[in-house]
Chains A and B, each alone.
Chain A
């Protein structure tokens, strides 16, 4: 057991108040405001981060429960000069309007591509066996935990589809 949370490779001390969500810890305690608070109830996905390789809603977990864990936020996925493949694809496909949901969308999609690589099925999968496909329908189902109130879904799906298919990266 350690008394730190590692975020994007840097260890940070745990908060004192057990009420602090992982989301508030990221935004208010260590100043990483890329992760967004939308609904704060696990319904919108704006707060999605990757913990030990797995995507979760950071609003519905306590920072106190994550000592020793490794968290990746949008700030850890790329830089303005060297965006990740998904970040570049979202730009090219205009996968946002206001941009508020975008960090959550990109963290979510980043982990989703790993889930596809691990051949995890989804509710949209034709079969639980064999290779999972990378159809638009699959992407929509797998990304259903990330809402975009501007309605940029068509472009979000196109961006993810391109990266999933190993296209321009």
Chain B
């Protein structure tokens, strides 16, 4: 690890001042950042430790929702009684990721900001436009099994690796952000960005901005499912994952909030998929139509071609399970 200065941020304002500089990164749980610093993918001159700034609480909101502190751990969130009862897709998504040791340290804010596990990004001897703009993308034409099939660019086909954010996207949660320009809230669905020509810009956080919390709307009920397909039964990133909140009324879809992991540079939410289902009677043909819309622009890169049929089958399986539960 390269030498760096370690400073405990005394206040949110000071954390914001510190991280507004190019050379300072905020550290919370640190499970991803310190790993990347050991690999010299990240080489900050200073770490601003934000762990003792508060905003670690999980509390009810006035409208019946729930606010998850950015510094609450993934474990504290997954085991929280209201998350388990009212937002089970979120508990399930968190529990499907990483290991207990990592979830015990990882924070909600840090989880949203975690970096891709693309092998070319984490290996400093390889080309990567995200790590070293202009150096090329090794994954295109290279080892691309985990890589994206939607929203890719000529510059980058990396995936956002997390599970939690996929559930938050399905739940249409919002991210509370504080920083130089004051406070703002951004929908999780708009928080992460596609790679385009600037794959190193992964989310909407501006220099000096810090996530303070995640707000869940009042619970909606319905059947909630998080289905993760991976290469081993535990502790592996998603090849494909589906977060689903499904409700049937009189035998027809009245709610179909669906987000997908492992497919793109961000949790993938395509409003056309839910719209195709709403008001319709569940059937294999209908599920296929939803999958057709989802995968209309999907593109494989050789090793990850399998993700296209796998996504179709996973979506079909989730919709079958959800509608059987509801029937």
Residues in A lying within 8 Å of B, measured CB to CB: 18-19, 21, 40-42, 45, 48, 54-57, 60-62, 64-65, 108, 112, 115, 118, 120-123, 125, 128-129, 140-142, 144-145
B38 contacts which of A41, A48, A118, A122 (Cβ < 8 Å)? A41
Report the minimal beta-carbon distance from A40 to chain B, rounded to whole angstroms: 7
**Contact between chains at B84 and A142 (CB < 8 Å):** no
Q: How far is the CA of A140 from the CA of B100 in the complex (A)?
A: 12
User: Given A128-B88, A128-B92, A144-B234, is A21 in contact with B34 using a C-beta cutoff of 8 Å?
Assistant: yes
Q: How far is the CA of A48 from the CA of B88 in the complex (A)?
A: 28
User: Given A41-B38, A65-B30, A121-B95, is A57 in contact with B88 using a C-beta cutoff of 8 Å?
Assistant: no
Report the minimal beta-carbon distance from B195 to chain A, rounded to whole angstroms: 25
Q: How far is the CA of A120 from the CA of B5 in the complex (A)?
A: 37
Measured between beta carbons, the chain A residues less than 8 angstroms from B14 are none
**Contact between chains at A65 and B51 (CB < 8 Å):** yes
User: Given A121-B91, A129-B84, is A45 in contact with B79 using a C-beta cutoff of 8 Å?
Assistant: no
Residues in B lying within 8 Å of A, measured CB to CB: 1, 3-6, 27, 30-31, 34-35, 38, 47, 49, 51, 75, 78-79, 84-85, 88, 91-92, 95-96, 98-102, 104-105, 233-235
B35 nearest in chain A by CB position: A41
Besides A42-B31, A128-B85, 19 new A-B residue pairs in contact (Cβ under 8 A), listed by A number: A42-B101, A45-B99, A45-B101, A55-B100, A56-B104, A60-B102, A61-B34, A65-B49, A108-B100, A108-B101, A115-B100, A120-B79, A121-B95, A122-B95, A128-B84, A128-B91, A140-B234, A144-B99, A145-B99
Q: How far is the CA of A120 from the CA of B101 in the complex (A)?
A: 14
12 contacts between A and B (CB under 8 A): A18-B5, A41-B35, A60-B30, A60-B34, A61-B30, A65-B27, A121-B79, A122-B95, A123-B234, A129-B84, A129-B85, A144-B234
Q: How far is the CA of A142 from the CA of B234 in the complex (A)?
A: 9
User: Given A60-B35, A62-B34, A128-B92, is A142 in contact with B6 using a C-beta cutoff of 8 Å?
Assistant: no
**Contact between chains at B35 and A42 (CB < 8 Å):** yes
Measured between beta carbons, the chain B residues less than 8 angstroms from A42 are 31, 35, 101-102
Q: How far is the CA of A141 from the CA of B95 in the complex (A)?
A: 10
Report the minimal beta-carbon distance from B58 to chain A, rounded to whole angstroms: 15
A145 contacts which of B34, B51, B102 (Cβ < 8 Å)? B102
Q: How far is the CA of A46 from the CA of B100 in the complex (A)?
A: 14
Report the minimal beta-carbon distance from A15 to chain B, rounded to whole angstroms: 11
